[in-house]
Amino acid sequence: MTTQTTASSTAVTPAATPPTGLIGIPAPVGRAVATGGSALAVVSTFLAWTWTSAFPGDLTVYGYPGGLQVLVLVGGALATLFGLASYGVKGLGWLAPAGADAALKYATLGTFVTAWYTVLAISFDLGGLVNLEPGGYLVAAATLLALLGALALPFERPEPDPFDPDDTGWARFTHEAGHRWATLRAAFASGSPRPVRALPSHVEILIIVAILALALVVFTYGIGTGYDELFVGFLITAGFGFSALNRSGLIAHASQITARHQNITVCGAFVAAACFPFTQTDDQYATLGVYILIFATVALGLNIVVGLAGLLDLGYVAFLGVGAYAAALVSGSPSSPFGVHFPFWAAVLVGALASLVFGVLIGAPTLRLRGDYLAIVTLGFGEIFRIAVNNTDGTSGPDITNGSNGIASIPDLKILGFDLGVQHDIAGFTIGRFANYFFLMLLITAVVVLVFRRSGDSRIGRAWVAIREDETAALAMGINGFRVKLIAFAVGATLAGLAGTVQAHVTYTVTPEQYLFAGTTPPNSAFLLAAVVLGGMGTIAGPLIGAALLFLIPNKLQFLGDFQLLAFGLALVLLMRFRPEGLIPNRRRQLEFHEEADAPAVLSKTGA
């Protein structure tokens, strides 16, 4: 009895302690300092940060932010708005439905990192702090002041008292009520507020349009960064900005609105993506766009195998290669031994069917395996495919794929007389070769998204999820596990082959080195799997966004040379540490990764 009293008294003490920040100043003072420092950071972007235009972006102009100053301006403005919202300024309550303190901390930290990264880059590139103008000193001091103010804000909310299983009656009732309230507060702190009341449909549609327009602007800005320092600053600002918006609850509210209008959101997303080529003046960045779409489409196909069915496939890129080689062999290429030239629709069917056949042939004898054993077999298939096409060169084997030289000089596609290899003028805009293929891949991506949505909501899709969650229980309920997994394997392989038919014509050449398990650049099996896991397994938007990031980041980090993979790996480790469920997770996986934080602590009599 004495033990119980002691445990209860010690449990009450932490809950009675008010939350504090990392530095010993009152939270209201810290909030004011953070807001004021962020406002000063905004003002500093309209001053010159250096005296010479030798630093990229020309930060010598007064009254007109440029280059990295724009990113600091965006971060500082966002932090200022969160600071004002924390004071309850009228009209800003919508900006932080889950509370503004956590969002303010992330926004000020992002602004600080971007500003100090710029100041240090100027000093390093130009040879010392003497090259800074007053604006550079001001932004460094203002962002540091804002960060110190944010550190005064509480980082954790009080936890509920541990639950004593012997408590009954009123004591247990009050504890359970307190735990429900603590869970609700934790949900708000993590950016997952209660369901928001539905707005009029036309208002919600306008909000969706604004979200998609913002996404197009961010993507276009990121892909069009003209120099290395600007892209690194973009990553910092975008990462911390997303975290701040998520902590404020705005991302969760936006997700609820888009979930109520899924069809409009999906159609609007494709319309926004179709606008991307019209934002480019040449094919320089449209090239990246079409490769991102190819990579994203294959990742979405892999998401059926890994995300829905739970089958760990480490050789999935081989199905992309099967489709590409099949289409190349019937494309009319002079390197093809068949000497035939199929129209596009026939080449697409050949590539998709070839991948389907290989998917069934590989899946039929191996899908009775589970877990690591299945992963090893699929990894072996990927290596067997690469070695096989490398050896069918007429010397080590039959003359089919031209060995390591691959199939070259693949002609451009012509669809209904429309040549995708030449420029076309549409409504006053010049659409180049890669823009033409971008629209084609966008159409194929739409087909893959449709297949994913319809199959995921169907009876077979629910069977995939059951197999993924607990195969033994699913088999006990009468699900034919082998047949269900084979269908998932076949559908995923077919979608990869579909994207491979376009890849063959975009790259002009298909070679065995394009289809490795791991490499410095995607697509390869390791990057595809990472795109699915980091983006969010079992969702549509997750693999698409994950693939876009995983393709764009290595492409932009080439200036790091030998340290490229090191920086990329550290970024992945940090992402998996702080958001293990992925960037765009489904609700089930989000609860799986965070259920321990919401579970009540149990006070054991024996352990007290």
Tell me the per-residue pLDDT of 247-279, one tens digit each, with 9 for 90 and over.
888 888 888 888 888 888 888 888 888 888 888
Do 365 and 494 fall within a single domain?
yes
- Tell whether 270 is covered by a domain: no
Of 230, 251, 272, the residue at which a domain comes to its end is: 251
Residue 195 has a pLDDT of 53
Do 94 and 240 fall within a single domain?
yes
The SS3 call for residue 193 is coil
- Tell whether 142 is covered by a domain: yes
Dist. CA 441–CA 338, nearest whole Å: 26
Do 210 and 294 fall within a single domain?
no
480-485 long-range Cβ contacts below 8 angstroms, 24+ apart: 482/367, 482/368, 484/309, 484/460, 485/309, 485/311, 485/363, 485/367
Of 201, 224, 251, the residue at which a domain comes to its end is: 251
Of 223, 251, 279, the residue at which a domain comes to its end is: 251
Residue 101 has a pLDDT of 85
Do 80 and 128 fall within a single domain?
yes
Contacts of 577 (CB under 8 A, 6+ apart): none
Tokens of 240: 């911390």
Q: Where are the alpha helices (DSSP H) in 412-540?
A: 433-456, 459-469, 471-476, 481-507, 525-535
Low-confidence ranges of the chain (pLDDT < 50): 1-17, 157-193, 596-608
Residue 156 has a pLDDT of 52
Torsion (CA) 333, 335, 339, 340 in degrees, nearest 10:
-30
Do 359 and 506 fall within a single domain?
yes
Tokens of 409: 């000089």
Residue 130 has a pLDDT of 85
- Tell whether 185 is covered by a domain: no
Residue 530 has a pLDDT of 84
Residue 43 has a pLDDT of 94
- Tell whether 605 is covered by a domain: no
Do 235 and 371 fall within a single domain?
no
Look at residues 527, 465, 537, 501 and name the one whose alpha carbon lies nearest to residue 356.
Answer: 501
Q: Domain range for residue 435?
A: 287-573
| Predicted structure pTM score | 0.78
- Tell whether 49 is covered by a domain: yes
Do 406 and 531 fall within a single domain?
yes
Do 460 and 384 fall within a single domain?
yes
Place of tokens 């026939």: 346
The SS3 call for residue 26 is coil
Do 450 and 507 fall within a single domain?
yes
Look at residues 237, 258, 255, 257 and name the one whose alpha carbon lies nearest to residue 246.
Answer: 255
In total, how many domains does the chain have?
A: 2
Dist. CA 317–CA 358, nearest whole Å: 12
Tokens of 205: 């549609």
What percent of the chain shows pLDDT beyond 90?
A: 12
Strands (E) located in 329-421: 414-415, 418-419
Q: For residue 474, count CB atoms less than 10 angstroms from its CB and return exposed for 0-12, middle for 13-18, buried for 19 or more.
A: buried
- Tell whether 182 is covered by a domain: no
Do 302 and 236 fall within a single domain?
no
Do 395 and 476 fall within a single domain?
yes
- Tell whether 132 is covered by a domain: yes
Residue 16 has a pLDDT of 43
Residue 75 has a pLDDT of 93
Residue 241 has a pLDDT of 92
Do 342 and 216 fall within a single domain?
no
- Tell whether 318 is covered by a domain: yes
Look at residues 106, 75, 36 and name the one whose alpha carbon lies nearest to residue 249.
Answer: 106
